[in-house]
Structure 1
């Protein structure tokens, strides 16, 4: 029997558990992939970044196709990343025409949005499909965050996976130590598991008495409960694996009080936190909504007091269009900064960007109607 199969391939973090104790295994042959099962030299990562309300297409659009294209003014900060990026245009999702406020919901799913009054049920997002493959190797299968707005991630059952918007909370979630030590955490996880089991059991009996519509609503709720159950099981699995050790100055930067009016620095905190999560292999899949379709905050740093949503309804006003271009330029500059930071981290003879695919875009090209 050939034991070098996925079934027998053990992770080096594997431990033996019994009588409340755990013992790390020595290095075994079945911990090393061979032949067709050889593990990649470096992890492959994916990041999805969303800006709302489209752009000012009059100043944005690249006119010349091919590799010798010229960056337009809002895109100039990407010039030194030319060899690493591919501008894509002409994508079209006809089922969201006239439903601009739904664009973020289907950006990574491609689901059909019904006409007014129709019930909308999303499908699975691209990031979650990737997380199903990559997630078993990291403490967190995926990370859902938002500078402003909601989540881009949707489960296989079409349920939105909540996003965290507080930098300190995200940092503590990824790198913080649980209060009370491992035993206390294990007790909390066990209690949570017992509660979830009880909820699911009760729900099955209730389900028999409901109408079709109510059953559908209950099914959505139970799907969310099962996702919590899976995350609880995952947390239990990783409880004995130490979290990355970070310098105190790193923690101070992400946990300090900060005025969100400092938009540039606030955005860069999010980008730096994403880089930190990737380079410590805490997760390999990240979604981040930079702004919501209905808001997309002001940028006092560059003198913009209106929301991005407000600027997108410019009605052809030259001053509004100029300001919209300013915000386009600002967001591209922050994206360029993110790519800089990915390139700055060296690993395995290359850099972090070499093993990371990043999709940066919007659910529409032109927000004014």
Structure 2
């Protein structure tokens, strides 16, 4: 029997690609097509190791929102940004300290203490993707810059530090860290679709031969996996249909509503491998995410700028030679704290550059940023103390005209200051309406 490797199983993920959002094509965005409005998008950007709490946050002043030093790169976008103080996940303080129990930023559920059978809970981005992902070629894109590490610490597996997006309670969503592969998930000339279909055919054939050798439990797991493979097959077939529409082989009719201004890739296909410079790596991944939203390849994304516990370095920052995690444990040393602050500000600067490009993308009555909700957060506030009793949370974008920017929300005294309340608010705006999510039962008013 042909070897059934994990590599072959994973190569079929994220294979479907298609047109930009077009009202005249009823296959995608049916609800948006009826109204002629641009669709809403959601992205969560994560940075590990917390922030310098002394220079993070915002307050309302006489002239509107006033940013602390770390958020000053957002000044040009201040009317499109909301800063939250006090939000947290209460489950992060119920057990052991350290980093791993805090890696539930998008589920709010307790991280299982284990070195094998991981469990965090299905995350809000993947719940949204399960609904709105049917309207786009790629249900969601999960980006990062660093591989997972494989170690154990205090009864936890280090796998937790590498993922914020979980497609099931026990399965992290595959994260793409290579720019070229991320690009290829979104833009394809047709050859990749044929290759993916061939891989899927082999996977299904090999799976048939395996079934007789599996236990009952493993057979159930195989059935679950094959269901996901069949979903991928359907996406490949849909992509082929879209390709025919693009080439004029089939006719589609409909109204002439909003269409994206960006209809072809504005960046070239990245080279293979990982960029040597962390700054270059981050910028190209931001550009790919921007393009994915501009062309409506997907409406849901997560991007881990770095893993938790990461020692990513930024050589371009003068005098900063240590990695992020090392700097976060500054122990009050003024030099290391100053370097940590430089890293914080630089990461926010990169995020702000991405937001400004979104704001410059016209989508009719609003910009791409106005139609989106882009969250920046971490699993810790104070990395030095591993403190998660409140988290750094910044929200950019207008959610299609449903969110007012230029606001600083101080929830530190609110007895119901759960981060999952914000998730409920964002999920609702993306069309996912549930009575409860994580540990929250009502949405935050924003």
Task: Note whether the superposition's TM-score is higher than 0.5.
Answer: yes
Match of 2:264 in 1: 246
Alpha-carbon distance change, 195 to 120 in structure 1, aligned in 2, over 3 angstroms: closer
Q: 2:279 aligns with which of 260, 264, 267?
A: 264
Q: If the length of structure 1 is used for normalisation, what is the TM-score?
A: 0.78
Kindly state the Cα deviation for residue 158 of structure 1 after the two structures are TM-superposed. 2.9
Q: How many residues align?
A: 328
Match of 1:128 in 2: 126
8 Å contact kept, 2:48–2:379: yes
Q: 1:108 aligns with which of 101, 106, 129?
A: 106
- CA distance in 2 between counterparts of 1:80 and 1:193 reads 51
Match of 2:353 in 1: 337
Kindly state the Cα deviation for residue 102 of structure 1 after the two structures are TM-superposed. 2.2
Kindly state the Cα deviation for residue 200 of structure 1 after the two structures are TM-superposed. 6.7
Alignment of 1:1-369 (within 5 A): 13=25, 38-39=34-35, 41-62=37-58, 68-97=64-93, 98-102=96-100, 105-115=103-113, 120-149=118-147, 150-179=162-191, 184-185=194-195, 189=197, 192-193=200-201, 195-196=203-204, 199=207, 202-203=210-211, 206-208=214-216, 215=217, 223-242=224-243, 246=264, 250-252=267-269, 254-255=270-271, 259-261=275-277, 263-303=278-318, 304-369=320-385
Cα shift readout 1:321-362 (whole Å, capped 9, x = no counterpart) = 111101000001011101101011111222100111011110
Alpha-carbon distance change, 75 to 32 in structure 1, aligned in 2, over 3 angstroms: closer
> Which has the larger displacement, 115-124 or 302-311?
115-124
8 Å contact kept, 1:159–1:220: no
Kindly state the Cα deviation for residue 95 of structure 1 after the two structures are TM-superposed. 2.4
8 Å contact kept, 1:104–1:293: no
- CA distance in 1 between counterparts of 2:75 and 2:363 reads 24
Kindly state the Cα deviation for residue 105 of structure 1 after the two structures are TM-superposed. 3.7
The structure with more radius of gyration: 1
Kindly state the Cα deviation for residue 58 of structure 1 after the two structures are TM-superposed. 1.5
- Give unpaired runs (5+ residues) of structure 1: 1-10, 16-30, 209-214
> Which has the larger displacement, 303-312 or 37-46?
37-46
Kindly state the Cα deviation for residue 279 of structure 1 after the two structures are TM-superposed. 0.8
Q: Secondary structure at the match of 2:353?
A: helix
- Give unpaired runs (5+ residues) of structure 2: 1-22, 148-161, 247-261, 386-446
Q: Secondary structure at the match of 1:58?
A: helix
Q: Secondary structure at the match of 2:267?
A: helix
- CA distance in 1 between counterparts of 2:102 and 2:34 reads 37
8 Å contact kept, 2:59–2:67: no
- CA distance in 2 between counterparts of 1:87 and 1:199 reads 49
Q: If the length of structure 2 is used for normalisation, what is the TM-score?
A: 0.65
8 Å contact kept, 1:51–1:289: yes
- CA distance in 2 between counterparts of 1:334 and 1:33 reads 33
Alpha-carbon distance change, 285 to 350 in structure 1, aligned in 2, over 3 angstroms: same
Cα shift readout 1:49-77 (whole Å, capped 9, x = no counterpart) = 00001101122243668983421111111
**CA RMSD, Structure 1 to Structure 2 (Å):** 3.3
